[in-house]
Structures are given as structure tokens and as C-alpha cells.
Amino acid sequence: MNGEPHIDLNDNSVLEAANVVVLGADHKVLDDVGRLAVNVELGGKAMLFQRGKVIQGQWVRAAGDVIRFVKDGKEVPFYPGTTYFNIVPNSPAFDTHISITNP
């Protein structure tokens, strides 16, 4: 984060993940405190980061099911291990929340 490794405060290890999904969802501010309602039912744009690669696709969620990442209408399997889901607002545009740089 911000050019530095994200460290687990419990054991000082660098956080790692086999899969990282960034998905766009509609956000609505509920009150003057800033509490949000995030729509995790509608689906939308998403990016999946695995083994140094990025796949652009969509996220979908059927009633009573988990969120799934799909590309060209087919579900993309996750690698075994830790998976992080990061939800960003659709407004401003999904693409404005992500910056991919090569080391």
C-alpha cells in the first residue's frame, strides 16, 4: 500500500494472497456520519489478479449464492489459498480506482 508492503500487525508478516478481486459496486451514503449501503447483488465490472497477471471481467451473484468472477460468460477458477475481495465505488468510474504499475 502506497509503495510499501502491507504488514500483518499480529505477526509482522507481509500479507499475501493467491487471488485478489477488485469489483465495482454502487455505493449510497445513508447518513451524515457517512455510513454506506453497498449493492453486492447487482454485479458489474471486475478485475482478478492472480500469479502476477490481471484478468478483466465481470462479477455476478445469483440469489443465495456467492460472488463469482466471470470472463466471456464463464467462471474463472481461483487458485487455492487466500482470496481478497476489494469493493470500489462505480462512481466515479470503476477504472479510476485502479492503477496498475510494473515494478
**Tens-place pLDDT, residues 47-94:** 999 998 999 999 999 999 999 999 999 999 999 999 999 999 998 888
Confidence of residue 2 (pLDDT cuts 50, 70, 90): confident
pLDDT digits (tens, 9 = 90+) for 27-54: 999 999 999 999 999 999 999 999 989 9
> What does 31-71 look like in DSSP terms, one character per residue?
STT--EEE--SS-EEEEEEETTEEEEEEEE--TTS--EEEE
**Cα–Cα distance, 45 to 35 (Å, whole number):** 23
Residue 55: strand pairing partners: 48
Strand 36-38 and strand 83-89: pairing?
Answer: unpaired
